[in-house]
């Protein structure tokens, strides 16, 4: 682990900026070398993408690692196009990949990379994405090095396939999602020792497929959980950041920052430091005291500057649940924030109000997603926020328009 760390609050980190995850990384690489297909799970901003890309960097001598981002995909055909494009950086592989799309690439001598996706997509029909996808897997399996496929945002795509733009599961949509997941599963089985897959995403795949009754399609995947940093690791990160920026960060300030966060999600640890560093510099100093850390938490982490970052967690609920169930999720989370916990009785009241006679099934689905994706955790007979930061932000954002269930007047 390095002694000096640069500020990094953007997308992902690799190499010298990959902080401390050596144990998790070693286990992750070990499973990949064993040929296990992995389902990488973790709360958002914990470092899933960084873990995958750093593993790819360290495996590059022995494996061909392809990172495939399905964030913008809306159909299985879109996924096939993204898989094909991932080979573009590898000339011999790309030459073989082009043969799968000869129906649209023959006769074209040169084409800009930005135009490739549209061109390849035009060569796919709804009925042949599987055959072309199978051909791509055959090409990968014949590569001189074994291949690791890092498939990011698969849950986002599956959720779209399953629910469409109106967030309604229909038999046709369920069949499409089933076909895509079964296709991935069969190709994973078909090429042992040649292709290893990692499935990851910013939302959980398991709750999504459970809603569609498709859990069996995941039975070849081995769960790999990436947990938040320990308090000790987060403290070491803050000290390294301070050392790298000639900032004095006494132990009591470190404790204040970690106490405020509650859970040490790597991105938020570094985001907190970034705000504290800038505030200290703006005041003409080079020290972050306990009081300054507390002030930065209130005004920056919970204020408008932290708003955009944390609002994304709220937006993800719409992506997974759709407008109606998102409203239930917002009420459940606001109840947990304002009342300090979400009791089973309060959850029932809120679910009945939003979902009527279907409240039990809908509440079960929503709570499963909130728990799986790191918003809430069960404690006794209630649910509480996992992250103090998220709880405080949620309370600050919604408390003025919300009346806790216990304080509501009974309906007549």
Query: pLDDT tens for residues 190-238?
Result: 999 999 999 998 888 998 999 899 999 999 999 999 999 999 999 999 9
Q: Which of residues 65 and 118 earns the better pLDDT score? A: 65
Q: Of the candidates 225, 244, 260, which is a domain's last residue? A: 225
Total of domains in the chain: 3
pLDDT in the model for residue 68: 96
If asked whether residues 81 and 160 sit together in one domain, one would say yes
**Is residue 54 over pLDDT 70?**
yes
At 2, the pLDDT band (50, 70, 90 cuts) reads very low
At 278, the pLDDT band (50, 70, 90 cuts) reads very high
Predicted TM-score (pTM) above 0.85: yes
At 305, the pLDDT band (50, 70, 90 cuts) reads low
At 400, the pLDDT band (50, 70, 90 cuts) reads confident
Residue 8 lies in a domain: no
Instruction: Give the residue among 165, 166, 172, 183 at the shortest CA–CA distance from 212.
Output: 172
Instruction: Give the residue among 159, 197, 153, 167 at the shortest CA–CA distance from 44.
Output: 153
Question: What is the average per-residue pLDDT within 118-141?
Answer: 89
Residue 308 lies in a domain: no
Number of CB atoms found within 10 A of residue 117's CB: 15
DSSP state of 41: E
Contact 43, 268 (CB under 8 A): no
Residue 309 lies in a domain: no
CA distance 20 to 263: 17
Residue 2 lies in a domain: no
If asked whether residues 90 and 207 sit together in one domain, one would say yes
H-run or E-run covering 69: strand 64-69
pLDDT in the model for residue 310: 73
**Is residue 142 over pLDDT 90?**
yes
Alpha-helical regions (H) of 191-303: 205-211, 231-244, 251-261, 266-282, 290-296
Two tokens, residue 159 = 């959720």
pLDDT in the model for residue 109: 57
Residue 7 lies in a domain: no
pLDDT in the model for residue 1: 42
CA distance 135 to 140: 9
If asked whether residues 213 and 255 sit together in one domain, one would say no
Range of the domain at 326: 314-407
**Is residue 12 over pLDDT 80?**
no
Q: Of the candidates 198, 225, 252, which is a domain's last residue? A: 225
CA distance 175 to 161: 9
**Is residue 113 over pLDDT 80?**
no
């Amino acid at each position: 682990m390095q002694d000096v760390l640069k500020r990094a609050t953007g997308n992902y980190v690799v190499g010298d900026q990959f902080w401390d995850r050596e144990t998790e990384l070693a286990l992750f690489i070990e499973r990949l070398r064993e040929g296990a297909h992995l389902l990488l799970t973790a709360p958002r901003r914990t470092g899933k993408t960084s873990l995958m890309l750093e593993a790819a960097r360290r495996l590059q001598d022995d494996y061909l690692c392809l990172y495939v981002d399905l964030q913008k995909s809306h159909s299985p055909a879109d996924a096939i196009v993204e898989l094909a494009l991932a080979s573009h950086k590898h000339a011999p592989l790309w030459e073989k990949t082009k043969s799968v799309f000869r129906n649209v690439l023959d006769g074209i001598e040169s084409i800009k990379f930005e135009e490739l996706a549209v061109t390849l997509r035009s060569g796919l029909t709804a009925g042949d994405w599987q055959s072309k996808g199978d051909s791509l897997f055959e090409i990968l399996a014949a590569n001189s090095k074994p291949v690791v496929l890092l498939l990011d945002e698969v849950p986002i795509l599956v959720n779209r396939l399953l629910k469409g733009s109106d967030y309604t599961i229909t038999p046709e949509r369920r069949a499409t999602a089933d076909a895509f997941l079964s296709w991935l599963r069969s190709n994973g089985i078909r090429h042992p020792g040649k292709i290893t897959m990692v499935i990851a995403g910013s939302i959980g795949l398991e709750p999504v497929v459970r809603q569609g009754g498709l859990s069996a399609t995941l039975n070849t995947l081995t769960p790999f959980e990436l947990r938040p940093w320990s308090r000790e690791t987060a403290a070491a990160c803050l000290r390294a950041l301070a050392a790298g920026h000639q900032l004095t960060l006494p132990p009591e300030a470190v404790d204040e920052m970690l106490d405020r966060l509650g859970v040490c999600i790597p991105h938020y640890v570094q985001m907190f430091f970034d705000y504290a560093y800038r505030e200290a510099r703006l005041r003409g100093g080079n020290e972050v005291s306990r009081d300054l850390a507390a002030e930065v938490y209130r005004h920056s982490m919970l204020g408008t500057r932290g708003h955009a970052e944390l609002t994304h967690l709220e937006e993800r609920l719409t992506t997974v649940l759709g407008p109606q169930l998102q409203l239930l999720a917002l009420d459940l989370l606001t109840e947990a924030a304002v009342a300090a916990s979400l009791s089973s009785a309060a959850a029932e009241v809120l679910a009945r109000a939003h979902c009527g006679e279907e409240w039990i099934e809908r509440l079960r689905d929503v709570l499963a997603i909130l728990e799986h994706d790191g918003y809430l955790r069960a404690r006794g007979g209630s649910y509480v926020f996992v992250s103090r930061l998220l709880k405080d932000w949620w309370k600050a954002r919604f408390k003025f328009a919300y009346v806790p269930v216990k304080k509501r007047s009974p309906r007549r």
